[in-house]
Amino acid sequence: MTRKILIVEDDDDTASFVERGFAEQGYAVDRTGDGREGLFLATDRAYDAIVLDRMLPGLDGISVLKALRAAGVVTPVLILSAMGALDERVRGLRDGSDDYLVKPFAFVELHARIDALIRRGASRDEAAPTRLQIADLEMDLLARKVTRGGKAIPMQQREFQMLEFLMRHAGRVVTRTMLLEGVWNYHFDPQTNVIDVHISRLRQKVDKDFDVPLIHTVRGSGYKLAVEE
């Protein structure tokens, strides 16, 4: 099945380079240099991925991104921008992009990142269990509820996402990088203690009132959710 990609980029040389590269890889490519038209295309047609510039005429890239997410469009979006400062990358990711690549760039890297986003999206769409369980810890993915030993455990959204990631990788070591990418969609280290803070909160909720701890620190590696003797 032919993959379809939308390129929203107003620099003609860059857009032509990217369009030609994806066409040579067998993609069906739509291209526009205007933010408003890009938003129209992205909401009107089905794409496997979108490459989105930050600085665009008509409507800037961040506004396009926010409008897409507000409209319920979940198509993977990679921001392609010359704005490479840390706070700009963080802003792009927080506002709904799935990846961020700074110009100048190599097409081989852009292609690899887009391919990874499409594969990740496909894996999410596959049939998946609606409940996760390890020992007496249970998670209802549809109801967004967590219980342990039958006792309800209230969870904030990010705590739920982090616990879900740990439960999906139960028995395996989960590194900080895996958590940053899998929960926060960060593809770089923001140099904060956000992981430690959330792990501490999860331990207070999941382990504090129970005899058997489930969340373990693997020194020098990361964390593991498991029943250990």
Please indicate, yes or no, whether residues 8 and 113 belong to a single structural domain of this protein.
yes
> Residue 72: which region, alpha, beta or left (left: phi > 0; alpha: psi -120 to 50)?
left
Q: Among residues 23, 65, 26, which one has the least CA distance to residue 43?
A: 65
C-alpha–C-alpha distance, residues 63 and 72, integer Å: 14
Helix (H, G, I), strand (E, B) or coil at 198: helix
The closest alpha carbon to 52, from 20, 112, 96, 3, belongs to 96
d(Cα 80, Cα 225) in Å, to the nearest integer? 36
Q: Which two tokens stand for residue 143?
A: 């109801």
- Indicate if 10 and 107 belong to the same structural domain: yes
- Model pLDDT, residue 229: 61
Q: Tell me, what CATH number does 160's domain have?
A: 1.10.10.10
Asked if 34 and 112 sit in the same domain, the reply is: yes
CA 102 → CA 78, 82, 86, 117, 199, distances in Å? 10, 5, 11, 17, 31
Same structural domain, 45 and 21: yes
Last residue of a domain, one of 97, 125, 153: 125
Residue 110 shares a structural domain with residue 151: no
What DSSP line would sit under 67-124, residue for residue?
A: HHHHTT----EEEEES---HHHHHHHHHTT-SEEEESS--HHHHHHHHHHHHHHHHHH
Which of 125, 150, 179 finishes a domain? Answer: 125
pLDDT digits (tens, 9 = 90+) for 185-211: 776 677 778 899 999 999 999 999 899
Residues 137 and 176 in one domain: yes
Structural domains of the chain, count: 2
Strand ranges, E, within the chain? 4-8, 28-32, 49-53, 77-81, 99-102, 131-134, 137-140, 145-148, 151-153, 215-218, 222-225
Structure tokens at 174: 């989960």
- Residue at which a domain ends, from 103, 125, 147: 125
How confident is the model over 59-82, as pLDDT tens digits? 999 999 999 888 878 899 999 988
The residue ranges of the chain whose pLDDT is under 70 are: 1, 121-129, 187-188, 229
Instruction: Return the pLDDT at 45.
Output: 81
Q: How many residues does the chain have?
A: 229
**What is the pLDDT, as a whole number, of residue 128?**
56
Instruction: Assess whether 14 and 46 both reside in one domain.
Output: yes
- Which residues span the domain enclosing 112? 4-125
pTM check: above 0.85: no
